[in-house]
């Protein structure tokens, strides 16, 4: 049986790790005004489209990192 303090530590660690899930939202919402003002068009694509595609990759990395933190919890 686990000690109650062990469970509280795990819950606290997970809550801090859950804050990582806000990063993709900050990418899309917080930086969108900046991205809309960029006139550079890499590979002939509008920068907004490239920004959205990069955001998908960024969100995938963040979710993968969050999953790794979740699965690397203490052994039971």
Residue 12 lies in a domain: no
Contacts of 3 (CB under 8 A, 6+ apart): none
Q: Model pTM? A: 0.70
Comparing C-alpha atoms, which of 50, 57, 21 is closest to residue 36? 50
pLDDT for residue 30: 87
Residue 1 lies in a domain: no
Residue 51 lies in a domain: yes
Count of the separate structural domains present in the chain: 1
- Domain hosting 76: range is 23-76
Per-residue pLDDT of the chain (76 residues; tens, 9 = 90+): 555 555 666 666 667 778 888 999 998 888 888 888 888 888 899 988 899 999 999 999 999 998 888 877 655 5
């Amino acid at each position: 049986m686990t000690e109650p303090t062990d469970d509280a530590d795990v819950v606290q660690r997970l809550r801090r790790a859950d804050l990582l899930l806000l990063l993709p939202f900050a990418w899309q919402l917080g930086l969108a005004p900046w991205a809309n003002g960029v006139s550079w068009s890499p590979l002939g694509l509008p920068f907004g489209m490239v920004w959205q595609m990069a955001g998908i990759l960024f969100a995938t990395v963040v979710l993968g990192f969050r999953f790794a933190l979740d699965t690397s919890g203490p052994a039971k």
